[in-house]
Structure 1
Amino acid sequence: MNKQSMFHQLALIEEKVGGLYEEIGHLKNAMLELMEENKNLLIENQHLRERLQQRETELEKKEKRQSSGVKAKKDKKKRAVVGEGYDNLARLYQEGFHICNVHYGSLRTDGDCLFCLAFLNKQG
């Protein structure tokens, strides 16, 4: 193998390594963006849970003022179960799965689904 051939091979290897470094840089940036988005979503989720808890407390107070007895307890239990179900569906949606009746359970690949969002925003 002559010197020119060795130099040419070395230049090709250097080019490939440079491409790999560039690709690693892009992956690193994408990973940082995902980590930041995940952190923001965790914070937002915590705020929503706090707000939900606050709203449930307000509804409980209002319910106690309006009526007491067996019916009030049944409604409270039903609302707690519905709230937990919606929370689970919201978690599944945040993990990247469809929760709408059109594509339920399949992986979301094209961003947000209007059917899923409409379902989540529906007032129970």
Structure 2
Amino acid sequence: MEKKDIFSQVSHLEEQLGQIYVDFGNLKAQLTVLLEENQNLTLENRNLRKRIEDADHTDQSMTNRTTRKSGTISEPDVGEGYDNLARLYKEGFHICNLHYGSVRNDGDCLFCLSFLNKK
């Protein structure tokens, strides 16, 4: 082999290594996005399962209350909706009209807090 052939092979390998490095960087970025999405979905799934359990307990208590009142369905309490929204916010979800239902990633939301502080 001539020196020129060896040099061209080394240059070609160097280019291939550079492309592999770029490909690894792209895969790492995609993996980061997927891991964040997985974490958000895991949190949302856990919160939804807890809400289902709470709803089952609430349904049972509502059924017990309605049967005690001779079959009539009682109206929900005035503050019950506010309490539910406060609980949703505490679980990590937006309750403001801008991002309602989405997961809060950046800490507290000023819009949600202003809504909660209205009396």
Specify the alignment match of 2:45 in structure 1.
Answer: 45
Superposed displacement of residue 67, structure 1: 2.5
Specify the alignment match of 1:101 in structure 2.
Answer: none
> Aligned letter for 2:3?
K
- State the Cα deviation string for residues 55-100 of structure 1 (Å, max 9, x = none): 11111100011238xxxxxxxxxxxxxxxxxxxxxxxxxxxxxxxx
Once the two structures are superposed, the pairs formed by residues 91-102 of structure 1 within 5 Å of their partners are none
Aligned residues with identical type, % of pairs: 34
**TM-score normalised to the size of structure 2?**
0.53
Superposed displacement of residue 40, structure 1: 0.7
Distance 2:67 2:34 in 1: 48
Bigger radius of gyration: 2
Q: CA RMSD in A?
A: 1.3
> Aligned letter for 1:8?
S
Once the two structures are superposed, the pairs formed by residues 1-124 of structure 1 within 5 Å of their partners are 1-67=1-67
**TM-score normalised to the size of structure 1?**
0.51
Q: SS of 2:63's equivalent?
A: helix
Superposed displacement of residue 43, structure 1: 0.4
Distance 1:31 1:51 in 2: 30
Long gaps (5+) in structure 2: 69-119
Larger helix percent: 1
- List structure 1 segments (4+ residues) > 6 angstroms apart after TM superposition: none
- State the Cα deviation string for residues 89-112 of structure 1 (Å, max 9, x = none): xxxxxxxxxxxxxxxxxxxxxxxx
Specify the alignment match of 2:97 in structure 1.
Answer: none
Distance 2:67 2:2 in 1: 95
Comparing both chains, which one has the higher relative contact order based on Cα–Cα distances under 8 Å and sequence gaps of 6 or more?
2
